[in-house]
C-alpha cells in the first residue's frame, strides 16, 4: 500500500513512518520542511507541502491508497479539512485520523457515566483544543471517505509491545496510556486489515 502520512515529522509520525516501512508499505511523508524527516530508507518519499497549497497537496497524494493524519494540535481541524479536500480531488478513498480520548459525542456515549463526567470536565478546561478535535471528527464523519478515528489517552515514548486493547472494552480511561510504538502498530494494523472502518475506536495499554 502507498500511505501518505501528514504529521510524519511529529512525535507520533516518527514512529508511524518506520513502522509502515517495516511492513513493506511505500510511505509519502508530508511535511512543511523536508529536513525535518530524518529517516531516508527505501520506500520513503518526502514531499514538502503547506497544508493550504492545494497543488502541492494534490502532488503529495498522487497514487496514494490511504492517508494517516497525525497533525499537531494547532492544525487538527483546518489541516484535516485541507487533507480531506485534497483526498476528494485526487480520489484517495481511505483515511485514518489520530485524535484524543473522548473527542466526539458518539465516542463519549460509549463511556460509563463516571468516565463521561471526567471527560466533560477535561473538555471544559481544555475547551478550544477539545472543540477543534470535535470539528475534525465531524468533518471526517461527514466526508464520503472510508475513515477510522483513533482515540488514545496519554501517549508515552516507547517501542511496540503488541499488548494493548482497542474498541469498546470496559476498562477504557482517560487516565490510561499507550506507547507511541504500540499506537503506530495499531493504526497500521487498522489499514492493513480494514478494521474499524467508519468507526472511532479507543486504544490503550
Ligand atoms: N501527546 C499526547 O499524550 C496525545 C494523546 C492523545 C492524542 N494526541 C494527539 O496526537 C496527534 C499527533 O500528536 P503529535 O505529538 O505527533 O503532534 P506534533 O508532533 O505536535 O505535530 C505533528 C506535526 O504536525 C505538523 N504541524 C504542527 N503544527 C503545524 C502548523 N501550525 N501548520 C502545519 N503543520 C503543523 C508538523 O509537521 P511539519 O513541521 O513536518 O510540517 C508536526 O511535526 C495530535 O492531534 C495530538 O493531540 C496526543
Neighbours of 155 (CB within 10 A): 17
Mind listing the pLDDT tens digit for each residue in 52-109? 999 999 999 999 999 999 999 999 999 999 999 999 999 999 999 999 999 999 999 9
Contact call for residues 169 and 202 (beta carbons, < 8 A): yes
pLDDT mean over 186-200? 98
pLDDT mean over 15-34? 98
pLDDT mean over 126-130? 96
Which residues does residue 167 pair with via DSSP β-bridges, in sequence order? 202
What domains sit in the chain, N to C, each tagged with a CATH number?
A: 2-204 (3.40.50.720)
Which amino acid residue places its CA nearest to atom 6 of ligand 1? 100
Which amino acid residue places its CA nearest to atom 27 of ligand 1? 72
Q: Considering the chain, what percentage of its residues have pLDDT values greater than 90?
A: 98
Mean pLDDT rounded to a whole number for the chain: 97
Cα atoms in the Cβ-side hemisphere of radius 13 Å centred on 23? 21
Pocket test for ligand 1, best of 71, 96, 153, 182 (most atoms within 8 A of CB): 71
Tell me, using a 6 A CB cutoff, whether residue 11 lines ligand 1. Answer: yes
Which amino acid residue places its CA nearest to atom 32 of ligand 1? 75
Mind listing the pLDDT tens digit for each residue in 151-183? 999 999 999 999 999 999 999 999 999 999 999
Question: Parallel, antiparallel, or unpaired: how do β-strands 165-167 and 199-204 relate?
Answer: antiparallel
Q: How far is CA 42 from CA 30, 102, 142, 184, in A?
A: 16, 37, 36, 19
Tell me, using a 6 A CB cutoff, whether residue 71 lines ligand 1. Answer: yes
Tell me, using a 6 A CB cutoff, whether residue 52 lines ligand 1. Answer: no
Tell me, using a 6 A CB cutoff, whether residue 56 lines ligand 1. Answer: no
Closest to 157 in 3D by CA, of 133, 177, 186: 177
Ligand 1 center to 99 CA (angstroms): 10
Residue 13: what pLDDT? 98
pLDDT band at 18 (very low <50, low <70, confident <90, very high): very high
Which amino acid residue places its CA nearest to atom 40 of ligand 1? 31
Residue 49: what pLDDT? 98
Strand residues in 40-79 grouped as ranges (E): 44-48, 66-69
Predicted TM-score (pTM) of the model is: 0.98
pLDDT band at 38 (very low <50, low <70, confident <90, very high): confident
Question: Parallel, antiparallel, or unpaired: how do β-strands 44-48 and 26-31 relate?
Answer: parallel
Would you say residue 40 has pLDDT above 90? Answer: no
Would you say residue 39 has pLDDT above 80? Answer: no
> What is the distance in angstroms between the CA of the first residue and the CA of the last residue of the chain?
27
Amino acid at each position: 500500500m502507498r500511505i501518505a502520512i501528514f504529521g510524519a515529522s511529529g512525535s507520533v509520525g516518527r514512529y508511524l513512518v518506520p513502522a509502515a516501512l517495516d511492513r513493506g508499505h511505500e510511505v509519502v511523508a508530508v511535511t512543511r520542511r523536508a529536513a525535518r524527516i530524518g529517516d531516508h530508507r527505501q520506500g520513503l518519499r518526502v514531499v514538502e507541502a503547506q497544508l493550504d497549497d492545494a497543488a502541492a497537496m494534490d502532488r503529495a497524494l498522487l497514487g496514494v491508497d490511504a492517508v494517516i493524519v497525525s497533525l499537531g494540535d494547532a492544525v487538527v481541524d483546518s489541516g484535516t479539512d485541507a487533507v480531506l479536500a485534497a483526498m476528494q480531488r485526487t480520489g484517495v478513498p481511505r483515511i485514518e485520523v489520530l485524535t484524543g480520548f473522548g473527542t466526539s459525542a458518539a465516542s463519549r456515549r460509549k463511556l460509563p457515566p463516571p468516565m463521561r463526567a471526567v471527560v466533560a470536565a477535561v473538555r471544559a478546561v481544555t475547551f478550544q483544543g477539545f472543540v477543534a478535535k470535535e470539528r475534525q471528527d465531524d468533518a471526517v464523519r461527514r466526508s464520503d471517505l472510508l475513515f477510522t478515528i483513533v482515540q488514545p489517552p496519554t501517549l508515552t515514548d516507547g517501542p511496540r509491545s503488541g499488548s494493548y486493547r482497542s474498541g469498546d472494552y470496559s476498562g477504557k480511561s482517560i487516565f490510561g496510556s499507550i506507547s507511541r510504538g504500540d499506537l503506530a502498530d495499531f493504526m497500521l494494523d487498522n489499514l492493513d486489515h480494514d478494521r474499524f472502518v467508519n468507526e472511532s475506536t479507543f486504544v490503550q495499554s
